[in-house]
Chain A
Amino acid sequence: MRSIADPSATTRFVPHALACALWLTLSGCASTGIDSELVQPGRLEQLLEPKAEVPAALRPFVLRDQEQGRRDRVLNEAMAGLSALELSQPEIAQRLLSDAQALIETIYAHDPAANRARSNFVPEANKDFKGDPYERAMVGYYLALADFSDPDLDNARADLRFAEIQDTMSASETFQSDMVIMPFIRGWLYNCSGRSAQAKDEFAAVRKAKPGIKTPAATDNVLLIAEVGRAPGKVASGRHQEELRYARRDDGTIRGVTYTQDAQLLVGQQIEDVYWQASTRGGRAVDKILAGKASFRNTAEGIATGAAVFAHISSDLARNAARRRDSDDANQYAGLALLGILVSIGSDIVAASTHPEADTRTWSSLPDRIYVATTQADVIAEQLPWSLGFHDAKGALQSAVEMKTFRSGACMLVWGRQYPGSYPSSWTDSSLRHEAAVHESCKGDCSAIAEQATLDAKNFNTSLAPLAAPDVVPDNVDTGVTFKRRIFLTNPN
C-alpha cells in the first residue's frame, strides 16, 4: 500500500483539483450540447439570387442562415418568406417557402442530426427544425398566398392541402384536420377557377367543422384576410425543462376587424385560432424520449449526491484517523473518500451533460388569429388600397394599416397584419382614413363589429375577456436554468 505522509492534505487537495476540472469541463463543451456544424451554408442566399435585388429587410435572414445552416433553415426560410410577402414580393416568398415545404416533407430516417437529438447528451434543439404541426401548416398557408400570384391556382390549392395534412399529426382525432381556413380559401380559389362544384364541397367541409362560419358567394372574387395578434409561445417546463407547453402570447385586445375602401365597409369574421391549433396537438413521441433523458439525469444527480455524502463521511473518518496517528486507517478512508469524490464528480459531469430540454424554437412572427371577408369588385380597374382596422371587443377602432393586394385573373387577394414580420415595418398606418370610413359607413352605429366579435367568441369557444390568462403560462418554469435557446426574435436584427 502506498503511504501518505499527510492524509489531511490529500483530502483537502483532491476535491479542489477535481472541482476545478469539473468547472472547466462544464463551462466548455457541456453548456448547450448544440452542434455548430453548417450543412449547405448560405442556401437562403442562393434562393434569393440575384444578390443585388435582395430587399434589405431580408438580409438579416440571409446572415442568420449562414450562421445557423440547415438546422434552422426551415425557420429562417419561413420567416423570410413571410417578410417577402409583406414586401409584396410573392416570387421571392414562393422560392423561400417552397424550399421550406420540401424540407418539411423530407422523411428524416437515419438522419445523423436527428439521431444525435435522441442521445441523452444532446438537446432536442440539435435536430433540424421542421416546426410543430401548426407551424408546418402555416408554411403551406403562406405559400398558397404566394402561389396565388401564379395564373394557375392548382399549386395554391395543393399548398392548402399540404397544410391540412400537417394538422393530422394531432394525437386526438377530434383536433385532426380542423384548420377551417384551408378549405375556406381552397373553396374560394375553386370559384376563381370557375369550378363551382369543387368549391361547394370545400365550403360544405367548412360549415361541417364550424357551423357558424359564413361561406362566400360564388360571385365573390375578392378575399380579404387579416392576421391579428402575436404568435403562440412555446415554454419548456418541468424540473429539467423537458415538458413542452404552449402559451397564448396575445393579450386579446383586438377582437374584431373591418376592411374599408372608399365608403365601403366590411366586417371580418374569425376563421382560425392559431394558438388553439398549437395547443391541441396532444402528446408527442419525442416527449417520451425527453422524459427518459430527464429520468437519466435525475438518476445521475442522485448517484452524485450519494457519492458526495459517502466521500464526506470517509473524509471525516480519514481526518479522525490521521489525528489518532493511525496511518493505515487514514490511508484507507482517504482512498474511499477519493473514490466517492470521483464517482460524485463523474456522475455530476454526466448529469450536467444530459440535455432533456424541450426544443422551444418558435416561428415568432405568426399571428394568433385570422379573420376573413369576401366581396365582389372589378379587380381590373385601378382601385384605392384597402385599409384594415383593428377593433376591441366593444367595436372601438384601435389602429389601422394599408393592406397588400395580389391579383390572379379575375380574382384579388387582399392581405393585412397587425404586427409586422420584419423591421422596418412595411405596413403603412391608415388609422385616420379608416376611422373616417368607419364613421361614414356606420352613421354612428357600429354595433355590427361588436356583434361579430361575440359571434367569433362563440364559434371559437373563447371568452371576450383578455385571452392570455395568467394561468395559461405554466408556473413551474424554472427560469434559473441556464439552457435558454431563443433562436428567433420577431425582429431579425
Chain B
Amino acid sequence: MRTHSLLPLSAIALLLSACATPDAGKPVTYQDVNSTGVVAGVGVESQDVTAVTDAMVKDILATPEVVKRSQAARVILDAAYFENESSQRINKNLLVDRLRINLQRAAQGKLQFVSRESADMVAQERDMKRQGTTDAGTLKQAKATAGADYRLIGRINSLDARSAQSGTVERYTQITFELIDLETSLSIWSNLYEFKKGGQDDAVYR
C-alpha cells in the first residue's frame, strides 16, 4: 500500500521539478563601444559609428588641400546638411559630433571649426556686450563672427533585401562624406564608408 501511494507522489515531484526555471536577469555591465553587443541588428550600431568616424578623421588629415594650408581652414561640421536616406532611424549627431571632436583633437590647430548651431547664442551674447548689458569679457572683440571655408555634407543610404522563404535579412549601408568649398561649391574632399550586414531570425519569427 505504501509503495502505491509513493508512486504518484514521485511522479508529481518529478514533473513539477521541470516547471519553474526563473531567470534572474543580468546586471548592467560596461561594454566596448567597438564590440557587437548582445542586441544586434543589421543597421548602424556603435561599432559602425566609431569605425566610420575614425576612418574619416584619418582620411581628412591626410588630405593636403584641407590641412596643409598657410592659414588653418575653417570648417562647419554639423548635421544640417547630413541626410538620412536609409531605412534606419538614426541620430545623425552621433556621427558628425564624433567626427568633429576627434578631428579637432587630431588636427592640432590645422583646422578650425565654426559652430553654426551656436550662431543665435553667440549673436545674443555679442548684443549684450555691445549694448553694455554685460562687460566685454576678456577676449578681444571681433568685428563679425567667423565665416567658414568649407562645410561637411553627407548622406546615409541603405539597400534592404529580405527573403520571405528563409527569413534572411540583409542591409547594405553606405555613408558618404564631402567637404564643400563655400565660395566655389567645389567638392575638395570626399570619402565613403560602406558595410553590409545580414542575419536570419529564428523560425518562430518567420
Q: How far is the CB of B47 from chain A (nearest CB, A)?
A: 15
| B202 sits at the interface (CB 8 A) | yes
A21 at the interface (CB under 8 A from B): yes
- State whether the Cβ of A263 lies closer than 8 Å to any Cβ in chain B: no
- By the criterion CB–CB under 8 Å, are A98 and B25 in contact? no
Q: Is the CB of B201 within 8 A of A154?
A: no
Shortest CB distance A353–B (Å) = 9
Asked if A155 is at the interface of the complex by the 8 Å CB criterion, the answer is yes
What residues of chain A lie closer than 8 Å to B25, measured between beta carbons? 38-41
Please choose the segment from A211-219, A281-289, A307-315, A402-410 that sits at the chain B interface, where 4 or more of its residues have CB less than 8 A away: A281-289
**Chain A residues, CB < 8 A from B86:** 158, 161
| Chain A interface size, under 10 / 10 to 19 / 20 to 34 / 35 or more | 35 or more
Evaluate contact between B201 and A147: CB separation under 8 angstroms: no
Please give the distance in Å from B83's CB to the nearest CB on chain A. 6
B200 touches A109 (CB 8 A): yes
Q: Is the CB of A37 within 8 A of B23?
A: yes
Residues 413 to 464 of chain A near chain B (Cβ within 8 Å): none
State whether A28 and B87 are in contact (beta carbons under 8 Å apart), knowing that A105-B43, A114-B202, A154-B92 are contacts in the complex: no
Give 4 new A-B contacts, CB below 8 A, not counting A21-B8, A28-B15, A154-B84.
Answer: A21-B7, A109-B199, A169-B206, A282-B164
Q: Is A102 an interface residue (CB 8 A)?
A: yes
| A 272-291 binary contact with B (CB < 8 Å = 1; else 0) | 00000000001011100100
User: Which of A17, A107, A162 has the most chain B CB within a 10 Å cutoff?
Assistant: A107
Contacts A165-B160, A169-B164 given; indicate if A108 touches B15 (C-beta within 8 A): no
18 contacts between A and B (CB under 8 A): A24-B12, A25-B12, A28-B19, A29-B15, A35-B21, A107-B199, A109-B199, A109-B201, A114-B205, A118-B202, A152-B79, A158-B85, A161-B86, A168-B162, A169-B162, A170-B164, A285-B203, A289-B203
- B23: A residues at CB distance < 8 A: 37, 39
| Least Cβ–Cβ distance between B198 and chain A, in angstroms | 9
Q: Tell me if A158 and B4 are in contact (CB < 8 A).
A: no
For B200, list chain A residues within 8 Å (CB): 107, 109
A37 touches B204 (CB 8 A): no
| CB of B18 closer than 8 Å to a CB of A | yes
Q: Taking the complex as formed, is A106 at the interface, i.e. its CB lies under 8 A from any CB of chain B?
A: yes
CA distance A485 to B8 in the complex (A): 30
Find out whether the CB atom of A29 lies under 8 angstroms from the CB atom of B19: yes
User: What are the interface flags for B7-35 relative to A under an 8 Å C-beta threshold, 1 for contact and 0 otherwise?
Assistant: 11101100110111111010000000000
> B167 interface residue, CB < 8 Å from A?
yes
Please give me the residue from chain A that is nearest to B203 by CB atom. A285
Question: When the two chains form their complex, are residues A285 and B206 in contact, meaning their CB atoms are under 8 A apart?
Answer: yes
**How many pairs of A and B residues are in contact by the CB < 8 Å rule?**
132
Answer whether residue B42 sits at the interface, using C-beta atoms and an 8 A cutoff.
Answer: yes
CA of A171 to CA of B164, assembled, Å = 6
Instruction: Indicate whether A158 sits within 8 Å of B40 (C-beta atoms), given known contacts A29-B19, A39-B23.
Output: no
In contact, A155 and B4 (Cβ under 8 angstroms): no
Asked whether, in the complex, the Cβ of B39 is within 8 Å of the Cβ of A155, the reply is no
In the assembled complex, the CB of A487 is this many whole angstroms from the nearest CB of chain B, namely 16
Contact (A286, B8) CB under 8 Å given A25-B16, A37-B23, A106-B40: no
How many whole Å from A193's CB to the nearest CB in chain B? 9
B87–A17 CB distance below 8 A: no
Say yes or no: A108 contacts B202, CB within 8 Å: yes
Provide the bound-state CA to CA distance between A101 and B12, in Å: 43
Asked if B140 CB lies within 8 Å of chain A CBs, one says no
Within 28-55 of A, Cβ neighbours of B (below 8 Å) are at: 28-30, 35-41
Residue A465 CB within 8 A of the other chain: no
Q: How far is the CA of A289 from the CA of B202 in the complex (A)?
A: 12
B contact residues around A243 at 8 Å (CB):
none
- Interface status of B69 (Cβ within 8 A of chain A): no
Which residues of B come within 8 Å of A, CB atoms?
Answer: 4-5, 7-9, 11-12, 15-16, 18-23, 25, 39-43, 79, 83-90, 92, 160, 162, 164-165, 167, 169, 199-206
Residues of B within 8 A of A41 (CB): 25
Please give, as numbers and ranges, the residues of chain B lying within 8 Å of A108 by CB-CB distance.
Answer: 201-202, 205
Question: A143-163 vs B: 1/0 string, CB under 8 Å?
Answer: 100010000101101110110
- Please determine whether B83 and A165 come into contact, CB atoms closer than 8 angstroms: no
Residue of A nearest to B19 (CB): A29
Q: In the complex, what residue of chain B is closest to A171 when comparing beta carbons?
A: B164
CA distance A420 to B63 in the complex (A): 58
The answer to whether A101 and B89 have CB atoms under 8 Å apart is yes
Given A106-B40, A158-B88, A349 and B15 contact (CB-CB distance below 8 Å): yes
Q: Contacts A17-B7, A28-B16, A171-B164; is A155 near B89 (CB within 8 Å)?
A: yes
User: Distance in Å from the Cβ of A164 to the closest Cβ of chain B?
Assistant: 8
Q: Is the CB of B41 within 8 A of A107?
A: yes
B12: chain A residues at CB < 8 Å are: 21, 24-25
Tell which of B87, B92, B204, B206 touches A162, judged by Cβ atoms closer than 8 Å: B87
Asked if B89 contacts A143 (CB within 8 A), the reply is yes
Question: Would A155 and B41 count as touching, CB distance under 8 A?
Answer: no
Report B-chain residues with C-beta under 8 Å of the C-beta of A168. 160, 162, 164
Determine whether the beta carbon of B4 is less than 8 Å from that of A285. Answer: no
A17 near B204: Cβ-Cβ < 8 Å: no
Which residues from chain B contact A159 at a C-beta distance below 8 Å? 89
Q: B residues within 8 A CB of A115?
A: 202
Cβ of A105 and Cβ of B42 under 8 Å apart? Answer: yes
Residues from chain B with a CB closer than 8 A to the CB of A106 are 39-41
